[in-house]
Amino acid sequence: EELGDIQPRPPIITVLGHVDHGKTTLVDKIRSANVAKGEAGGITQHIAAYQVDHNGHKLTFVDTPGHAAFGEMRARGANVTDIVVLVVAADDGVMPQTVECIAHARAAGAPIVVAMNKIDLPGANEQKVLTDLANQNLLPVEWGGDTEVVRVSALNGTGLDNLLETLLVTAELKELKAPTDAPADGVCLEAFRDEGRGPVAWIIVRRGTLRVGDLVLCGPSFGFIRAMYNDRDEEISEAPPATPVRVAGLNAVPNAGDTFLVLADDDIDIAREVAETRQVRGRTELLSRRGGPRTLEEFLSKKEGTIRDLPLIVKADTPGSIEALRHELGKLQHDEVRIQIIHEAVGGVNESDVYLASSAGAIIIAFHVVPEDRAQSLAEQEEVEIRRYNIIYNVTDDIRGALEGLLK
């Protein structure tokens, strides 16, 4: 796969912490806007993402309603977080929810930078916060550990430059990079139906550049991007890696945590099919993720005494290879299993193939071709089996052997 230029990208920083410890106020102050005041009851209901510029360096902040939303993203394998800012109110210290946030950050493998907030309050107890942190195995740098603890007041802005500098240093150590020319992929942070714009999704681009007009598959929705807005609600035409944007043009409302990817315009039918399958799956749960056989062995060991289809996707290096494979596989007749090639094409295994295989319960035969980077990881995520071959008789022998051996 041609990934294009690999460029440094801004860090994606998720702000976590106990309720009312000041996450939204902190992000709000950093972007000098006024999000917290506009919230109903001052409780964050949704994930919000903003990009800021500090001395010429961009940082992307994701403000969460709490650890649950973060955990959800992580559980869905869609975590985009590079660094966690753990907000701990100095008058309150580490609370049970703070401990859960620490666990989530660790499970996600994200380094933690602590923002000790509300130091302006008379009740602030810095030593207690440091002790609480040490008790969680977050030994502060000032005590000889390696956890950065930055004192801040989100309310009056104290320490915010320090915090941003610390975050930039932490990000630098990670050497974050992403291809910029490639078709985009990323994650849906949240989505809703807008009166005027229809389904709108808050997404964050992980890799590549997203453009108006791109065909996007996002969870159970798909569509050509009709309009795109940045975190200031300004209309934009393209979004490079780590940019949070709202997009309009999807045919349905996706879910928080759904991954999205850009497909070639030609793949519109695949996009529609996969999206529709997921809609059905979501509605009826008839086709649960683990409901159907995924590997050849699982398929064959699931004896039902009826004729079943073994759906295959064939990807190969040349039209001649495909012709030969179709011919050879066509000779493999079996009483109980009917081999069915649902898709065949010249070229490496790509994301569309994997999505198609995932929705159809198919196995992918890769003949003289390799899976593209993103396809391989996607296959792992979607539990799709990709079987690679270089010799045509190995394909048929393998499948015949499996048919005969396992169906005896």
Q: Provide the annotated binding site.
A: 17-24, 63-67, 117-120
Question: Is residue 14 close enough to count as binding Mg ion by CB under 5 A?
Answer: no
Q: What is the 3-state secondary structure (H, E, C) of 294-316?
A: CCHHHHHHCCCCCCEEEEEEEEE
Task: Provide the minimum distance between the beta carbon of 119 and ligand GTP in the complex, in angstroms, as a whole number.
Answer: 7
Backbone angles phi, psi at 131, to 5 degrees: -65, -45
Binding residues for ligand GTP restricted to 116-135, rule: CB under 6 A: 117-118, 120-121
Question: Is residue 43 close enough to count as binding ligand GTP by CB under 6 A?
Answer: yes
Task: Provide the minimum distance between the beta carbon of 20 and Na ion in the complex, in angstroms, as a whole number.
Answer: 4
Q: Dig out the tokens for 316 from the structure.
A: 């190969």
Would you say 14 or 153 has its CB closer to ligand GTP? 153
- Out of Na ion, ligand GTP, Mg ion, none, which partner does residue 155 contact, by CB within 5 to 8 A per kind? ligand GTP
Question: Is residue 98 close enough to count as binding ligand GTP by CB under 6 A?
Answer: no
Q: Dig out the tokens for 206 from the structure.
A: 């992980």
Would you say 16 or 395 has its CB closer to Mg ion? 16
250-253 long-range contacts, CB within 8 A, separation 24+: 250/191, 250/198, 250/199, 250/201, 250/216, 250/218, 250/221, 250/222, 250/223, 251/199, 251/221, 251/222, 251/223, 251/275, 252/199, 252/220, 252/221, 252/279, 253/191, 253/192, 253/193, 253/199, 253/201, 253/221
Question: Is residue 24 close enough to count as binding Mg ion by CB under 5 A?
Answer: yes
> In this chain, which of 14, 44, 147, 209 binds Mg ion, going by CB under 5 A?
44
Binding residues for ligand GTP restricted to 191-230, rule: CB under 6 A: none
Axis crossing angle, helix 96-107 with helix 67-75, rounded to the nearest 10: 20
Contact 263, 270 (CB under 8 A): yes
Distance, C-alpha 167 to centroid of its chain: 22
> In this chain, which of 11, 50, 51, 65 binds ligand GTP, going by CB under 6 A?
65
Would you say 61 or 222 has its CB closer to Na ion? 61
Number of residues that bind Mg ion (CB under 5 A): 3
- Out of ligand GTP, Na ion, Mg ion, none, which partner does residue 375 contact, by CB within 5 to 8 A per kind? none
Question: Is residue 95 close enough to count as binding ligand GTP by CB under 6 A?
Answer: no
Task: Provide the minimum distance between the beta carbon of 401 and ligand GTP in the complex, in angstroms, as a whole number.
Answer: 58
Question: Is residue 33 close enough to count as binding ligand GTP by CB under 6 A?
Answer: no
Would you say 44 or 243 has its CB closer to Mg ion? 44
Would you say 23 or 278 has its CB closer to Mg ion? 23
DSSP label at 184? P
Binding residues for ligand GTP restricted to 154-173, rule: CB under 6 A: 154-155
Question: Is residue 176 close enough to count as binding ligand GTP by CB under 6 A?
Answer: no
- Spatial CB neighbours of 239, under 8 Å, sequence gap ≥ 6: 184, 205, 209, 210, 211, 228, 230, 245
* Of 16-24, 108-116, 197-205, 352-360: span binding ligand GTP (CB under 6 A): 16-24
Q: Is 288 exposed, middle or buried (0-12, 13-18, 19+ CB in 10 A)?
A: exposed
Which residues contact ligand GTP by CB under 6 A? 17, 19-25, 36, 42-44, 65-66, 117-118, 120-121, 153-155
